Amino acid sequence: MVTPEIIEASKQWLTSTFDAETQKEIQDLIDNNPEELTDRFYKNMEFGTGGMRGVMGAGTNRINKYTLGKATQGLSDFLIQNNPNKELSTVIAYDCRHNSKEFAKVVADVFTANGIKVFLFDDLRTTPELSFAVRYLKADAGIVLTASHNPPEYNGYKVYGADGCQITPPNDGLIINEVNKVSFDKINFNANEDLLTYIGEEVDNAFNQVSVDNGTFGDVDRSALKIVFTALHGTSIKSVPQVLDKAGFSDVHIVEEQATPNGDFPTVKSPNPEEPEALEMATSLANKIGADILMGCDPDSDRLGIAVRDLEGNMKLLNGNQTMILMTDFLINQKKKAGKLNGTQFTATTIVSSEMVKVLADHYGIDTVITLTGFKWIGKAIADNPSKDFVGGGEESFGYMIGDFVRDKDAVTSCLLACEMAAHAKANGTTLYKQLLDIYIQHGYYKESLISITKKGMDGATQIQEMIADFRANPMKEILGSPVKYVCDYESSIKKNLITGEETTIDIPKSNVLIYHTEDGTKVCVRPSGTEPKIKFYFGAKGTLTSHDQAETVEAQLDQKIKDVIVALNLN
């Protein structure tokens, strides 16, 4: 049964503030689909600390012209209030999703209606190029219309500050306050086309060049590397092949069936390179032509999946932590070879990612900044350490960033770097996989895994909160017989040693995350997703590797240990 509050909220969308098509859609739901009506109006589409992401459609809990207009009006108000007497400008990019191009123009219209100049890309572009363009054009903010790897019915809106990084405290909270003040009838959609400039080739060329400058190292035969690349119907087709070609990688084979941008993502269940199924076509092509490496990007080209040849010559998909470990080790080594490793360097990663990044950095004598989940925090770490040299940083969810010219996950330059590393390895008679095993032999074999439990709708959101509340109220004392040594509660900012009872303060922003560390090196993290109706569980285990030929056995042991943890927590 629909509550009176839902009826009242939905009837507001039948007024003249909203266009006829929207009114018709809402009236049809009122008449015929009370369950769908409830889902669309039981809450407002939340403008969170990075923007919004959700299912498209009419209603307060959907991505549409009006929820995007409200967000943009609030952002405009913030920019105007905080930059008096300044000629303001923003950059807007959009991906391949349904309505992204139209939504981008709506956002541009609201900005120009408020007297803010807009640089709008003339066609779809990658998220990392948007981040780069904000600083390149000296804009005050940036917007990208994307829902990353979510299903086709989703779209979203990510907000970037003048530094090219997704908004962070305190500005995120101030912008949210302004957005929340805006009523739908106060959105100014009356565009001033004189303030709109379309951009394209100039920014492309600048971005591609700086990617090559940051993603290539020394002389190596790049033409000897055989590469397979898939865009998974997304924006990366606009940048990755061009950057690889500019760098000198000439033996590149594109999965043509997935090269055309398409918001339906017709050849995959999910356009997410974290999932092996998404890369099946690329793997087939790689096996057919004997490729050394294959790569695939998500729709907005911030996430990167890589597969390389294992010891038996089969294509093996690296997880995000493994890619991050290889890239971090390579970049630090390049600094070392160039005589530039002087102690001012640092790398960055997140609380749910592999412990091994810090182990590597410690080995080379450089600092590691560990942040909350999300690349905006890594971008903020760069801003917070202006006198230090940022080498690179990443997170477990298949994202990496090289240098600081982009302040978000950058699959474009990361694709180039992956090929550069593989080319150097091939020239030295080895492979990326063997190099990964060498790192494990030296520092320990760290293996991680992730499971997500989806809980949709209003009831699902409640269940997710109940699950993490239960973990918080009843902390685990041991995991598979190994005592829990530390419980880190990022909501209360307390790290507690369960053995000694000692409590210390966690000096990063608060977040609804719990992490358990056992005496034997096992790690379990519980975290509700900030962008999807999911609660995520991250697992880590550590083993010892003494030779390449033990790798399969040790990996199987660690995988089984993680499976046993999942069973012990009743998550299977």
Residue-wise pLDDT tens digits, 134-186: 999 999 999 999 998 889 999 999 999 999 999 998 999 999 999 999 999 99
**What's the CA gap between 131 and 8, in Å, rounded?**
40
48 has pLDDT over 80: no
Which pLDDT score, from 0 to 100, does residue 258 have? Answer: 98
Q: Report the percentage of the chain scoring pLDDT > 90.
A: 92
Task: Tell me the pLDDT tens digit for each residue of 322-351.
Answer: 999 999 999 999 999 999 999 899 999 999
CATH number at residue 409: 3.40.120.10
Kind of pairing, strands 304-309 and 345-350?
Answer: unpaired
Q: Which amino acid is at 327?
A: M
Which pLDDT score, from 0 to 100, does residue 128 have? Answer: 98
Q: Which residues contact 461 (CB under 8 A, 6 or more apart)?
A: 455, 533
Q: Report the percentage of the chain scoring pLDDT > 70.
A: 100
Which pLDDT score, from 0 to 100, does residue 458 have? Answer: 74
Same domain, 565 and 492: yes
Which of residues 422, 443, 464 is at a domain's end? 443
Which pLDDT score, from 0 to 100, does residue 570 have? Answer: 87
**What's the CA gap between 103 and 234, in Å, rounded?**
17
Residue 31, both tokens:
């008449």
Return the number of other C-beta atoms located less than 10 Å from residue 322's C-beta.
24
Task: Tell me the pLDDT tens digit for each residue of 515-566.
Answer: 999 999 999 999 998 767 889 999 999 999 999 999 999 999 999 999 999 9
Phi, psi of 168 (to 5 degrees): -130, 170
What mean pLDDT, rounded, does the chain reach?
95
Q: Which residues contact 278 (CB under 8 A, 6 or more apart)?
A: 232, 268, 269, 270, 271, 272, 296, 305
Instruction: Taking residues 467-496, report their average pLDDT.
Output: 93
Which pLDDT score, from 0 to 100, does residue 46 have? Answer: 83
Query: Given the structure tokens 């209360």, which residue do they identify?
Result: 492
Lowest mean pLDDT among 63-72, 397-406, 457-466: 457-466
Instruction: Taking residues 67-89, report their average pLDDT.
Output: 97
For residue 167, give the DSSP letter.
P
Same domain, 399 and 304: yes
**What's the CA gap between 337 and 331, in Å, rounded?**
10
Which of residues 385, 419, 443 is at a domain's end? 443
Give the active site residues. 148
Which pLDDT score, from 0 to 100, does residue 529 have? Answer: 81
> Sheet of 89-94: strands edge to edge?
51-55, 154-160, 141-145, 89-94, 117-121, 196-199
Residue 451, class by beta-carbon neighbours within 10 Å (0-12 exposed, 13-18 middle, 19+ buried)? middle
Q: Which amino acid is at 525?
A: C
Same domain, 337 and 314: yes
Q: Please, are residues 293 and 279 in contact by the beta-carbon 8 Å criterion?
A: no
Residue 20, class by beta-carbon neighbours within 10 Å (0-12 exposed, 13-18 middle, 19+ buried)? exposed
Residue 424, both tokens:
């150097």
Same domain, 557 and 417: no
Instruction: Taking residues 221-230, report their average pLDDT.
Output: 98
Q: Which amino acid is at 186?
A: K
Which pLDDT score, from 0 to 100, does residue 531 have? Answer: 67
Which pLDDT score, from 0 to 100, does residue 228 have? Answer: 98
pLDDT band of residue 51 (cuts 50, 70, 90) is: confident
Which pLDDT score, from 0 to 100, does residue 49 have? Answer: 64
462 has pLDDT over 90: no
- Residue 208: alpha-carbon gap to chain centroid: 21
Same domain, 84 and 144: yes
Same domain, 88 and 68: yes
Same domain, 14 and 143: no
Same domain, 455 and 493: yes
Same domain, 359 and 408: yes
**What's the CA gap between 405 and 415, in Å, rounded?**
16
Same domain, 278 and 346: yes
CATH number at residue 480: 3.30.310
Beta strands in 223-366 (DSSP E): 227-230, 252-254, 293-297, 304-309, 315-317, 345-350
With CA atoms as reference, report the closest residue to 279 among 230, 322, 321.
230
For residue 319, give the DSSP letter.
P
Instruction: Taking residues 15-43, report their average pLDDT.
Output: 96
Calculate helix-pair angle for 411-427, 432-443, nearest 10 degrees.
90
Same domain, 153 and 225: no
Q: Which residues contact 410 (CB under 8 A, 6 or more apart)?
A: 128, 131, 211, 302, 400, 401, 402
Range of the domain at 1: 1-42
423 has pLDDT over 70: yes
28 has pLDDT over 90: yes
Cα angle, residue 160 at apex, residues 410 and 86 outer, rounded to 5° = 135
Same domain, 115 and 235: no
Which of residues 149, 177, 199 is at a domain's end? 199
Q: Please tell me the total count of domains within the chain.
A: 4
pLDDT band of residue 263 (cuts 50, 70, 90) is: very high
